[in-house]
Amino acid sequence: MKKIISFFAMLFIIVLHVNAQGSLNPANVAMRDDFSAISKYSGRQTSSQVIQTYSNNEVKGSQFFNPNWAPGNVVTSNNETISNNYLFLFDRVRQELFIKLKDSDVVLTADKTQIASFTLVTDKAHVFVPDTKFNKDAAGKDIRFYEVMEMNDKGYCFFKYVDTKFVKSNPNDMMKIKSGDFSDEFVDNTTYYVFSPEAGLTKISLKEQSILKAVEPSKQDKAKAYFSAHNSEKVDENFVANLVRVLNAKG
């Protein structure tokens, strides 16, 4: 029992009490109400951390990786796992992970410095890791989370990062005004990274030359052979993930 209490004290630093009849319902997370509730009860924050600028119109997109509470797990820096009877919600705007017991109205905010990884199970299991583990330039900065597309503890890894920002409707955008679009929206900007033990983390685009620049000299021939053998395929996330598996394979 003491172990469980100390675990929660370490991992979760903010408690949010939300009306049980409110929007934080596992069956129906309303984006606007959720964000309003979280902003109101999450303690001291700077203006850059809180978005309270909704218009009266519907908001396009979502601040959340998944709009509903999802099952999953969190692995702490001490290699402890929390999973059973919990639901999770990942806010991509502030890069915050929220957690609640099933059928509970209490929401907790995870201490990002204590997260080794977390998993959200939606259409499949999506694993996220803190950028500080792979990006030396991230030290001392606010932690961001990369989605793991392919990972090998001793080899190449492939990550996806989605930077989501809240954008107010622009009253001077004549094209949108003419179309009757006055909506605020959450806008996603996606970037990809390849990590290797020797070269570290390299930002890439989904193009052959960009990807090859992230490959160490000793693996260049293998990477080029893969591109040659699959030259009729589209270079997308699956293509790069498969390439990384080939680079990690022995031989």
Give per-10-residue mean pLDDT for the chain (251 aa).
Answer: 46 46 36 41 33 54 90 92 90 92 85 94 97 85 95 96 88 63 84 94 97 96 97 97 96 68
Residue 59 DSSP class: P
For residues 249 and 251, give the distance between their C-alpha atoms in angstroms, rounded to a whole number. Answer: 6
Is 25 part of a structural domain of the chain? yes
What pLDDT, on a 0 to 100 scale, did the predictor assign at position 137? 83
pTM for the complete prediction? 0.78
Strand-pair category, 24-25 with 12-17: unpaired
Is 199 part of a structural domain of the chain? no
DSSP-assigned letters across all residues of 194-241: EEETTTEEEEE-SSHHHHHHTS-GGGHHHHHHHHHHTTTS--SHHHHH
Is 219 part of a structural domain of the chain? no
For residues 12 and 6, give the distance between their C-alpha atoms in angstroms, rounded to a whole number. Answer: 10
Residue 46 burial by Cβ neighbours in a 10 Å radius (0-12, 13-18, 19+): exposed
What pLDDT, on a 0 to 100 scale, did the predictor assign at position 172? 65
What pLDDT, on a 0 to 100 scale, did the predictor assign at position 234? 97
What pLDDT, on a 0 to 100 scale, did the predictor assign at position 39? 39
Question: Which residues form the domain of 88?
Answer: 1-115
Is 229 part of a structural domain of the chain? no
Is 87 part of a structural domain of the chain? yes
What pLDDT, on a 0 to 100 scale, did the predictor assign at position 128? 98
Residue pLDDT, tens place only, 56-90: 457 788 899 998 899 999 999 889 998 888 999 99
Is 236 part of a structural domain of the chain? no
Is 161 part of a structural domain of the chain? no
Domains held by the chain: number: 1
Is 3 part of a structural domain of the chain? yes
Residue 101 CB coordination number (10 Å):
12
